[in-house]
Amino acid sequence: MNLSVVILAAGSGTRMKSDTPKVLHKICGEELLFYSIECALELSDDVHIILYHQADKIRQVCEQRFPSTLSFHIQDHANFPGTGGALLQDKKLLSTKYPKLLILNGDMPLITPSSLTPFFSNSPISMGVIHSSNPFGYGRVILKEGRVQKIIEEKDATQDEKEVCTINSGIYCFDRDVLESYLPKLSNQNAQKEYYLTDVIKFASQDEISISSIDVSEEEFSGINDKSQLAQAQEIMLNRLRKKAMKDGVIMHLPHTIYLEKSVRFEGECEIEQGVQLLGKTLIQNSHIKAHSVIRDSQIISSDIGPMAHIRPKCRIENSHIGNFVEVKNSHLSGIKAGHLSYLGDSEIGEGSNIGAGVITCNYDGKTKHKTLIGKNVFVGSDCQLIAPLKLADHTLIGAGSTVRKDSKEGDLVISRSDQKNIADGFFMFFKEKK
């Protein structure tokens, strides 16, 4: 499509009450602005981002995620603040490639390319409007004989205008030359001393330029201004991610209790129980994740995990059974069982090995992390401490309660614990009780 997209992201976002720029707050693990950028890149190869507050920081994270595809602009100080000012550079419309210009906001992560299709008509101006039961805070769309006449911001509105429930979504598609002719006329003579983009609508209406108003959904087109709206948007996004996963064949128990980030992938037949959190770049393939487990940045293949297991970054777990209260980090587990209460960090464990209850890899000596390498068919009895660096050969048997510091050879029985003494009547002596 011959369309350029401009994403407005220069506002200070004061209502977020945060040192983090508004557009870098995340829902479902992804920055708000990234959602708008992804949507824009599906529609156009000419995407511009307008920055001002914390511009360097925002630009840096965007460039990391979308290398060399975006144009960045810093809003002129003379035209700041204001949504209209954001489109000006040296008093002229900033230079874009195509004759049509779609304006998106960096704080509307729920908009999808398909809901923008009605904006791409022959009309020189298309603007999204919302019929809202709670118009407070938004620009009101004032109609005259059914035609859009102007947009009045909350702070400039009369009492009568405030009663209007048709609000401006802040998303528009303009013919470039129309926008170009009106932008230099903007002034900041209004309650907020801002260069309002909405005034372009008023000027165009005065010149009887046709303005097409497009009904859009309040849920999708409401901007995020504070942390309560951030949480609401996340709920909606979660719903979408869960629905998509289920449509793709994932079984979810009590789906509304499952937290899922955008970068999580499912393959094959998966079952996810209630209260599970799947975070970061995680792949779940043909696996069953039981209640209240947390998995981050890991690959789980043909395995069952939990309930209440914690799989931390950089794990690859395949053909394995990981039971309750097992924590695993930076480990490759292949064809193993670790049924209960273990910590397996910086380890590699081979096929057929069994990790008893309460086994801990002591991977950290206070200065450095070390590896624990466990071969195939190793049986580690319950409550052992494996002090890394450590290498256990195939077919090692470790007696329960051992503290293991030395590597083993194939076939070794390893045991390190003091002999048991049974002292007759010791109980009665200790508690000074009679038998």
Catalog residues that contact ligand UD1 under the rule CB under 6 A.
8-11, 50, 75, 80-83, 85-86, 105-107, 138-139, 151, 153, 167-170, 196-198, 223
Give the C-alpha distances (Å, rounded to integers) separating 245 from 67, 91, 239, 249, 268.
Answer: 28, 48, 10, 7, 11
The HSE-up count of residue 91 (CA atoms within 13 Å, CB side) is 3
Pairing of strands 166-175, 100-105: antiparallel
CA 198 to CA 202: how far, in whole Å?
7
Instruction: Write out the binding residues for Ca ion, residues 222-241 only, by CB under 5 A.
Output: 223
Residue 85 interaction partner, one of Ca ion, ligand UD1, none, beta carbon < 5-8 Å per kind? ligand UD1
Whichever of 85 and 275 has its CB closer to ligand UD1, that residue is: 85
Rounded to whole angstroms, the Cα distance separating 251 from 266 reads 11
| In the complex, minimum distance from the CB of residue 157 to ligand UD1, in angstroms, rounded to a whole number | 11
Phi, psi (deg, nearest 5) at residue 228 = -70, -40
The answer for residues whose C-beta is within 8 angstroms of residue 75's C-beta and 6 or more apart is 10, 50, 51, 52, 85, 86
- Ranked by CB distance to ligand UD1, the top (closest) residue is 139
Pick what 220 binds: ligand UD1, Ca ion, none; C-beta below 5 to 8 Å, kind-dependent. Answer: none
Q: Closest separation between CB of residue 82 and ligand UD1, Å?
A: 5
Using CB under 5 A, which of the segments 220-228, 240-248, 403-411, 427-435 binds Ca ion? Answer: 220-228
Q: For residue 144, give every residue at least 6 positions away whose Cβ sits within 8 Å of its Cβ, in sequence order, or none.
A: none
Contact in structure between 333 and 343 (CB atoms under 8 Å): no
Q: Which is nearer to ligand UD1, 201 or 283 (by Cβ)?
A: 201
For Ca ion, the closer CB: 15 or 281: 15
Rg of the chain taking only CA atoms, in angstroms: 30
Q: Which is nearer to Ca ion, 21 or 223 (CB)?
A: 223
Question: Which option in ligand UD1, Ca ion, none does residue 151 bind, with CB closer than 5 to 8 A by kind?
Answer: ligand UD1
CB of 167 to ligand UD1, least distance (A): 5
Least CB distance to Ca ion at residue 61 (A): 21
Interface residues toward Ca ion, by CB under 5 A = 223
